[in-house]
Amino acid sequence: MRWTASVLAAVFLVGCSAPASRVADRGNAPAPAPVPGAAAPTSASQATTARSELRAAGDREVLHALSRLTYGPRPGEVERVRALGLDVWLERQLHPEKIDDSATEAALAELATLRMTTTELLHAYPRPDPQLRAKLASGEMSRQEMQERYPMEKRPARITAELQAAKMVRAVTSERQLQEVMVDFWFNHFNVFANKGDVRWYVSAYEREAIRPYALGKFPELVRATAHHPAMLFYLDNWLSARPDFTIPAGPNRGRKAGLNENYARELMELHTLGVDGGYSQKDVTEVARAFTGWTIERPQAEGRFVFRASMHDTGEKTVLGRRIPAGGGREDGERVIEILTRHPSTARFIATKLVRRFVSDVPPPALVDRVAATYSRTGGDIPTMLRTIFESREFLGEDIYRAKIKKPFEFVASATRALGGRPDAQGGMALARASAEIGEPLYEAQPPTGYGDRAEVWVNSGALLARMNFALGLVSGRYQRVTVDLPALVAGADTSVPAVVLDRLLAAILANQASPETRSVLAKHLADPQITRQTADDRGPANTDVAKLAALVIGSPEFQRR
């Protein structure tokens, strides 16, 4: 097909009320700033132009946009978005609060932990009684008795399981797709590991209060919210970091000396803001750690909220990246550090690079990174404006960019379920989360602070590829009962006794007719396989095609591994 860059660029631009002539201006110079929030075309003639060009835009362009900005199209979605207009659709996605998502909320209703505060979770899902464990270990208590006394659904592991289920349900069914993509992106950027100590009780609130509200907001807000959150304070040990010679005044460690812990300070600069080559030194790490002393957690196992403890704080003067933070700043020292870091050009570049890698290519085009970084600096890290800079760029529409990204396991599982019209309930969400783990991405369980990688090499390997195929087979064969994929709908009205017709329908539904000639021909050859055509015993020809198996092959095909 002709990859008509100008068409899609025009489509996006109209939605931003920028003159279409600016398309031609976009070279090395930073992209013009679209007006945030502008939704409607400014004139009737522009709308007419957009509509007519939109009609010219093929399924491939729409498929590309949906593949990158959502968890993949559901049946019929490419046509629907084309009819609506990509520009209109994009503006809606950038304002998720205006999109009705009550069906998804209803599916999540039974996952009570999602709405509970950390304090409530700490009380409702207490740590296992060590005495019970000892009795189990010594044989004094049977497993069954243990299960009765302490049922699975009352154990803390339930919190993570519900969170995993919710993430899957949202990815598959939410209408606010771009928001869900960005929540996943930022959670991974500010990763915490659910299985480290008390983080398990904090991580629900962390996503709900520190990530989700700012996923399409301003980047510095994310840094501030995560820096204050008990999940991050615990995960990167800052809650324990104190001025030298601080003596713990109370509790089980009363009288013990505590001191500086560099873990959060280092990762804040290396992974959250400046990037590892962002120009900081070991001395800066130590100074930042000093600034954050006293940022800790109030009663971690009973209350679990942020508190600044002046007694732990190092009151001396600090120098961070050459900027002096005067003595006596108290809690403000940390805020000052966040300000210095989030205004630093290295941060603009680092965040731009990660966004471009997510939405465009494993090898981020330098010119686009420059422009997105410029957008960051100009707008104070406004995320929707950075995203527009990406989506309106030539690079986003490059021929070599089409299907160049490999879906990570979570994206693959969600997109496969969406492609088959699946609607998981909470139980179904848990089953899909387990599938994501089998393919290599257990949700909320990335142990290192780097989170999961975003390049093909990380996810393409033989074991994972087999796991993807096995998931496809399981999904079509009803192994995930609570996911309710709708195969008959994909081939409704087709003559299923003719395998070639079935194949055509599946390629249209799952790959929006964008299968490569190789894949099409390989699958066509397999139509002769009696196990696929279910040839009848009396040899009167195929009676009924194995729709499920063909669907699994399409989902396991090379094209469907890419987005």
Partner 1 sequence: MPTRRTLLKAGGCALVAYAAAPRFLTRTARAAEARGKVLVAVFQRGAVDGLSMVMPHGDAGYAGARPSIALRSPRPGESDRAVDLDGFFAFHPSLAPLLPLWENHSLAVVHACGSPDTTRSHFDAQDYMESGTPGVKSTPDGWLARVARTLPAKSAPFRAVALGAVLPRTLQGDVGAISMQSIDRFDVRGGDASAGRGFESLYDQGVHDLLHGTGRETFEAVKMLRSANASRLAPANGADYPRGPFGDAMRQIAQLIKANVGLEVAFADMQGWDTHVGQGAERGQLAFRLRDFGQALAAFSRDLGDRMADVCVLTMSEFGRTVAENGNRGTDHGHGTAMLVLGGAVRGGRVYGRWPGLGRHQLFEGRDLAVTTDFRTLFTEVAARHLGAPTAALFPGFTSTQPSLGLFT
Binding site for partner 1 (CB under 8 A): 237, 240-242, 244, 246, 256-263, 266, 270-271, 276, 282, 285, 406, 438-441, 447-450, 453, 456-467, 469-470, 473-474, 477, 479, 518-519, 522-523, 525-526, 529, 531-532, 549, 552-553, 556-558, 561-562
Residue 482 has which token pair?
């609570």
Residue 142 has which token pair?
């049977």
Is 333 or 438 the residue whose CB approaches partner 1 more closely? 438
Q: Which of 91, 85, 93, 83 is nearest to 34 (CA)?
A: 91
Report CA torsion sign: 520, 525, 529, 533: positive
Nearest distance in Å: CB 187, partner 1? 18
Report the alpha-carbon distance of residue 361 to residue 454 in Å, rounded.
Answer: 10
Report the alpha-carbon distance of residue 28 to residue 244 in Å, rounded.
Answer: 50
Is 237 or 370 the residue whose CB approaches partner 1 more closely? 237
Is 99 or 465 the residue whose CB approaches partner 1 more closely? 465
Nearest distance in Å: CB 135, partner 1? 20
Q: Which of 258, 235, 269, 255 is nearest to 313 (CA)?
A: 258
Is 304 or 451 the residue whose CB approaches partner 1 more closely? 451
Name the CA radius of gyration of the chain, rounded.
Answer: 26
Nearest distance in Å: CB 532, partner 1? 6
Nearest distance in Å: CB 49, partner 1? 39
Nearest distance in Å: CB 38, partner 1? 40
Q: Which of 507, 513, 509 is nearest to 527 (CA)?
A: 507
Alpha helix segments (H runs only) across 206-302: 219-228, 230-235, 263-267, 282-291
Nearest distance in Å: CB 470, partner 1? 5
Report the alpha-carbon distance of residue 63 to residue 364 in Å, rounded.
Answer: 21
Is 194 or 467 the residue whose CB approaches partner 1 more closely? 467
Is 176 or 403 the residue whose CB approaches partner 1 more closely? 403
Residue 144 has which token pair?
């069954």
Nearest distance in Å: CB 193, partner 1? 10
Nearest distance in Å: CB 410, partner 1? 13
Asked if 70 contacts 359 with a C-beta cutoff of 8 angstroms, the reply is: no
**SS3 letters across 179-216:** HHHHHHHHHHHCCCCCCCCCHHHHHHHHHHHHHHHHCC
Is 115 or 256 the residue whose CB approaches partner 1 more closely? 256
**SS3 letters across 134-193:** HHHHHCCCCHHHHHHHCCHHHCCHHHHHHHHHHHHHHHHHCCCHHHHHHHHHHHHHCCCC
Is 47 or 465 the residue whose CB approaches partner 1 more closely? 465
559 phi, psi to nearest 5 deg: -60, -40
Is 20 or 404 the residue whose CB approaches partner 1 more closely? 404
Backbone dihedral region for residue 383 (phi beyond 0: left; psi -120 to 50: alpha; all else: beta): alpha
Q: How far is CA 41 from each of CA 62, 65, 93, rounded to the nearest angstrom?
A: 19, 20, 16
Report the alpha-carbon distance of residue 158 to residue 422 in Å, rounded.
Answer: 24
Nearest distance in Å: CB 378, partner 1? 29
Nearest distance in Å: CB 439, partner 1? 8
Is 265 or 325 the residue whose CB approaches partner 1 more closely? 265
Nearest distance in Å: CB 517, partner 1? 11
Is 75 or 275 the residue whose CB approaches partner 1 more closely? 275
